[in-house]
Amino acid sequence: MSEHHAPIPTEPVPNPEDPGTFVPVRTAADGDQSTWFTRNVKGIVKATYVLAAVLVLLDFTYGKHSHFEIEDIFGFYGFYGFVGCVTLVLLAKLLRKFVMRPEDYYDR
């Protein structure tokens, strides 16, 4: 994935939005650049999985106020959200085949 990203700059880059200023960049002297987030990505993902499981199991514990029968299915909202998002992303990926153009498409 990294090949799509801009190369990591080694010296301050000009900021076109605030002319005359430069955006500071990471230097070798900065040392370890890990943060709470980068150290705990795996933990966050695991927590999401656990939370998801707990939330579905909670379905046993309360009375639903449903408008439609489909809502009464065990874990309906979780299932629908997951399937919906996977479908969304895969269809969007497919959409790229039809609508994606080079960045300078309109300038040519």
Partner 1 sequence: MTGSLPPPLVVILGALLVPFLKGRVRSAYLLALPAVSFAFLLGFEKGVSWHGYAFGHELTLMRVDQLSLVFSYIFHIALFVGLLFALHVRDTTQHVAALIYGGSALGAVLAGDLIVFWLCWEAMAVSSTFLVLARRQPGANGAAMRSLMVQLVSGLLVLIGIALHVHHTGSIAFDSMTPESGSIFDLEWTGAGTLLIFLGLGIKCGWPLLHNWICDGYPAATATGTVFLSAFTTKTAVYALARGFPGTEELIWIGTGMAVFPIFFAVIENDVRRVLCYSMINQVGFMVVGVGIGTPLAISGTAAHAFCHILYKALLFMTAGAVIYRTGRTKCTDLGGLHRTMPWTTAFCVVGAASISAFPLFSGFIAKSLIMIAAAEAGQHVVWLLLLFAAAGVFHHAGIKIPFFVFFSHDSGLRPKEAPKNMLFAMGLGAAACIGLGAFPELLYRHLPYAIPEHAMPYTTSHVIQQFQLLVWSALAFCTLMLTGLYPPELRSVNLDSDVWYRRGAPAFVRFVGGPLMAGFGWLSHTVHVTVPRGLRYFAKNPAGAMKLAVDRFLLGWAGMFRSMGAIDRAQHRLVKDQRRYEDARPGAVWPIGTTVLYSVIAFLVFLLVYLIR
**Encoding tokens for residue 40?**
């705990």
Per CB under 8 A, residues contacting partner 1 are 1-2, 4-6, 8-10, 13-18, 23-26, 30, 33, 35, 37, 45, 48-49, 51-52, 55-56, 58-59, 62-65, 67-68, 70-71, 75, 77-82, 84-86, 88-93, 95-96, 98-103, 105-106
Cβ-count burial 44-81 (b if 16+ within 10 Å, e if not): eeeeeeeeeeeeeeeeeeeeeeeeeeeeeeeebeeeee
Q: 57 and 74 in contact (C-beta within 8 Å)?
A: no
Q: What's the min distance (Å) between Cβ of 76 and partner 1?
A: 8
Q: What's the min distance (Å) between Cβ of 27 and partner 1?
A: 8
Q: What's the min distance (Å) between Cβ of 42 and partner 1?
A: 10
